[in-house]
Every structure is written in structure tokens, then in C-alpha cells.
Amino acid sequence: MFFKEILLFLLPLFVAGLIHHFLIIKKNLFAFLAKPIDFGLKLGQKRLFGDSKTLRGFIAMAFLTGIIFWSINFLLQVPLKIHPLLSGILLGLGYSLGELPNSFIKRTFGLREGDLIKGPLRFLQHIFDQTDSIIGALLVLFLIYTPSVSLILVLFLTGTLLHVTIDLALYNFGYKKDRHQFSHPKLSA
């Protein structure tokens, strides 16, 4: 059962994220939804979340994660608290919502998307930048399932490792620009 749980709770987010980045964003599909979720609102002179957190991203992650989650659970039959489609949608939303506090902090400090703060908190912020969405998804996990402590730890570590690996690949292949030159060294291709 443990392997089935890991597969069910990580694979839909992973595949949805790849589809979102490499198909929807790259081909600018559903451009009418590429509107910032903060609608340009400001706190003082600073944007709440910035331009990179969009309605399209939230809708795509929720919808894609929901469909993929439902499909995988149809095969694996992991017992959930609520319907698999709704469980997947909530997991995708949790993943997306998990990124908002970090975006808010960055905008508060006047940083652009992808930048890190200067000084001693830089490393901590980078770690949070790599784990925020995983934490958001894990919080939602408690709504849809009763996870064991070992499952939470494995999902956190595996999810973080996948996130860092994908991020490195995106920088290496030029999909993302490395603005903070902190921990994204170019890998030899």
C-alpha cells in the first residue's frame, strides 16, 4: 500500500506540473486565463503576489491534478475520505496555494519572480522556495486521506527532491533563467 500511496499523491502533481509548464505556458494555451490572481492589487506600493501566479496556473494545476489523480486512483483503489476527482482537485489547489506565502514575502521585499533576498536568510528562503508547494499539498492531504507519519516524511522528501531536480533541469535547458545564481549551476549537457 505504501508504494501506491506515494504514486497516487506525487505522480498527479508531477505530471500536471510538466503539462502546465511545457504545454500550457510554453504554447500560451488558455491565454485569457493568464491573469495574475492578485489582479494587480497592492499592499502599500508592493504587489501581493506578482505576475507569475495566475488564474491559469491555479485552474490548470487543479483540473489536471484532479483528472490524473482520479485516473490513477481508479487503478490503485486507495481509500480516500472524499471522491478521487475532488481529492485531486484539492491536492492541485493545495500545491498552488502553498506557493503564495513565499510570493507574498518576495513581493514585500521588492523581489522579482525567481529572485532571493540578500543576506543570512537567503539560504532559508531558497529552501522554502523549493518546499512551499509540497507543504501546501501535504496540508491538503489531511483533508482527503489519513496519512502515516512515514508517508508524510517520504512524500515531503521525495516531492522536494523531484521539485529541485525539475527546477535544475528547467534552468539547465534554458526554460527558466537563473536570476539568483545561488544553487542552480548549469549541468553539463
pLDDT in tens, 14-51: 999 989 988 999 899 999 999 999 888 888 888 888 88
Average pLDDT over residues 143-169: 91
Residue 119 lies in a domain: yes
Residue 38 lies in a domain: yes
Residue 132 lies in a domain: yes
The reported pLDDT for the residue numbered 41 is: 82
Q: What is the pTM of this model?
A: 0.85
Q: What is the DSSP letter of 23?
A: I
> Exposed/middle/buried for 174, CB within 10 Å: 0-12, 13-18, 19+?
exposed
Residue 123 lies in a domain: yes
Nearest to 20 by CA among 47, 59, 78: 59
Average pLDDT over residues 100-125: 79
Give Rg (Cα) of the chain: 17
The partner residues of 47 in beta bridges, in order of sequence, read 42
Q: Per-residue pLDDT tens for 66-87? A: 999 999 999 999 999 999 999 9
- Number of domains the chain is built from: 1
Q: 176 pLDDT band (50/70/90 cuts)? A: low
Q: 61 pLDDT band (50/70/90 cuts)? A: very high
Nearest to 139 by CA among 127, 163, 155: 155
> Exposed/middle/buried for 165, CB within 10 Å: 0-12, 13-18, 19+?
exposed
Domain hosting residue 33, numbered range: 2-172
Q: 128 pLDDT band (50/70/90 cuts)? A: confident
